[in-house]
Structures are given as C-alpha cells and as structure tokens.
Amino acid sequence: MDWSDLRIFLAIAREGTLGAAARKIGQTQPTMGRRLRALETSLGQTLFQRTADGLVLTDEGAAVLRHAERIEDEALALERHVSGAETQLDGLLRLSSSDWFGTVMLSPVIAAFGKRHPKVTVELLTDARLYSLPRREADLVFRIKPFSEPEVISRKLLHIPYALYGKKGSKPPRAGDGSAVRVVTMNAEFADMPDAVWLKRALPNAAIASRSNNRQVQAELCASGDGFAVLPRPLGDRDRRLVALDIGTAPPGRDTYVGYHRDLRRLARLRALLDIVIERLAG
C-alpha cells in the first residue's frame, strides 16, 4: 500500500468525484482514477461504488476513511511540529571551547541566549581535547586553530589581544633580562604557543615559577604573587588584583574561530545561538 494513495483516497471521499478531487489536489482526473484503482488493488477491496452521482463509499471504503483521517491528523501534527520548531526552539546544543574563553567570553552569551530561548539546553565543554564535529561530539566549536575540514562551516570570530600582567602594585620587569624575575607560563605541551614564546624572549632569564594549561589558573597564580603572566586581556582586565604592565613590547594576540558541521546549518537553535555569539563577540 502506497501511503500517498491514501491522501488521494481522502480527497475523492470528500469531494465525491474524481474531477473535483483532482482540482483540489492539483492533479488530473485520470491520475485520481488510476491511483484509486491502485489502492483498491493493493488492499484487495472495492472502496467506492461508481454511480452516476459520483463515487459512493462502500462499507470497506468507510472503514478505510476513518483510518486515513487519523493518518492525516498525525501528518498534520508532524507538519505543525516541524514548522513550530522555527519559532519555539528546544533541544540541546553542545559547545566546545577553551576554559577561560568559555568562562569569560561565552558564559554571558549563553546566559543571554538562555533568556531568549529557555527551552534550549546548552552544554559547554571546556577541556583541552578537540571535539569532533563529524562525530557529533560537539555542535559548535570555538578554538584558535582554524578549521580546515571541508564539512565544517567556520568563520573567524574575533581577535583576542594578550598582555603581560603582574600582581596589582608590581613594577614592570626590565625587557630583555628577567633576572630575579619569576613567571607563570604555559605547560610544556603548549610551550610553543606565541605568547609563551614571546615571554621567553622578553624575559630570557626569568625563572619559571609555575606552569599550567589553564589560563585562569595562571591568572590566579599571578594575582597571588607567584609571578608575571601573559594573559588574554579579557581575562586579565576583569581581575582587580591584576595589572597590565608595559615593558615596551607587547605579546601577540590570537584569533578565535567558530565552526559547526554543515549538516547542522539549518538547525534553528544553532543558528540562533550563533547570531547572538556574533552579535556579542564579533561586533
């Protein structure tokens, strides 16, 4: 049984003639007759008696009509649900970003998004691993490494400036030396990051007081007097215990990219979040 034939059956049952049903559906009278015949053959029953007054339902036809009407109700409910998804968003979005970016940059954005779309749950994952968009481990990924995968749609979101920070009240160290200076820097795995490289160059004699892969830890240690640290300005500037220091040369900034899998480009909630992200961070 071809489910689509049921729709034509419904039109014929309601309109009473093949021609009227055809006009209603936007097809033609012979097609109505052929598909009704196909349905009758498939079900092994005569659904209408052909009379001079048009087609009159047999008892079997009347029973099929009741089922077909319920199918139609369900199909209409499906369509309403789908079209409703454009206005009343719900579901889950998984985001992935670095720790400080998630905390400092994304949290306010997520809060604003939640006020606008309370039924959408946002899950933000900030551990260091790269979440796989093709495997659907994340829906939206924020990172400094540009996306090169062909199935990922991405864009540069914003440029993050970095600065050297010290505990409030501290004096800038002498650029090019670093003797008797302690610093807090990236862990060994990320020792080649541009800001870590810049720090080693600017204060070659500095002692490494501590290392961390977590920018917020670095900021905390710096604020506690453990040593100077290069931090993203949005992170450093929000902490009253820290002060940005000018040693005559500034560390390089970093760009941040956002990407999502192209199969999700029509996912309404994803697009809605992205709009807010761009509005708040890229603007």
Partner DNA sequence: CGCTCGTCATACATTTTTGTATGGCGGGAA
Partner DNA sequence: TTCCCGCCATACAAAAATGTATGACGAGCG
**Other CB atoms closer than 10 Å to residue 213's CB: what's the count?**
15
Q: Which of 14, 28, 127, 189 binds DNA (CB under 7 A)?
A: 28
SS (H, E, C) 124-154: EECCCCCCCCCCCCCCEEEECCCCCCCCEEE
Specify the residue, 133 or 184, whose C-beta has the smaller distance to DNA.
133
Our finding on whether 264 is near a second copy (CB under 8 A) is yes
Our finding on whether 26 is near a second copy (CB under 8 A) is no
Specify the residue, 9 or 228, whose C-beta has the smaller distance to a second copy.
9
Q: Which of 46, 49, 50, 78 binds DNA (CB under 7 A)?
A: 50
Backbone dihedral angles phi then psi of residue 85, each to the nearest 5 degrees: -65, -15
* # of chain residues touching DNA (CB under 7 A): 20
Our finding on whether 20 is near DNA (CB under 7 A) is yes
267: CB partners within 8 A, 6+ apart: 139
Q: Which one of 77-85, 152-160, 221-229, 236-244 is the stretch in contact with a second copy (CB under 8 A)?
A: 77-85
Of these partners, DNA, a second copy, none, which one is at the site of residue 46 (CB under 5 to 8 Å by kind)?
A: a second copy
Our finding on whether 240 is near a second copy (CB under 8 A) is no
Of these partners, DNA, a second copy, none, which one is at the site of residue 144 (CB under 5 to 8 Å by kind)?
A: none
Say how many residues make up the chain.
283
Backbone dihedral angles phi then psi of residue 88, each to the nearest 5 degrees: -110, 100
How far apart are CB 123 and a second copy at their closest, in Å? 13
How far apart are CB 118 and a second copy at their closest, in Å? 16
Residues of this chain, 131-160, that bind DNA according to CB under 7 A: 134, 150
> CA separation (Å) from 161 to 42, 149, 155, 194, 252?
70, 26, 18, 12, 7
CA distance 210 to 31: 79
Cβ atoms 233, 160 nearer than 8 A? yes
Our finding on whether 35 is near DNA (CB under 7 A) is yes
CA 93 to chain centre: 6
Our finding on whether 123 is near a second copy (CB under 8 A) is no
> CA separation (Å) from 50 to 18, 22, 171, 187, 269?
10, 16, 99, 84, 52
Of these partners, a second copy, DNA, none, which one is at the site of residue 237 (CB under 5 to 8 Å by kind)?
A: none
CA distance 40 to 108: 61
Our finding on whether 6 is near a second copy (CB under 8 A) is yes
Specify the residue, 11 or 273, whose C-beta has the smaller distance to DNA.
11
Cβ atoms 219, 231 nearer than 8 A? yes
- Residue numbers at the binding site for DNA (CB under 7 A): 17-20, 22, 26-31, 33-35, 50, 52, 54-55, 134, 150
- Residue numbers at the binding site for a second copy (CB under 8 A): 1-4, 6-7, 43-46, 48-52, 56, 58-60, 63-64, 67-68, 70-71, 74-75, 77-79, 81-83, 85-86, 90-92, 134-136, 261, 263-267
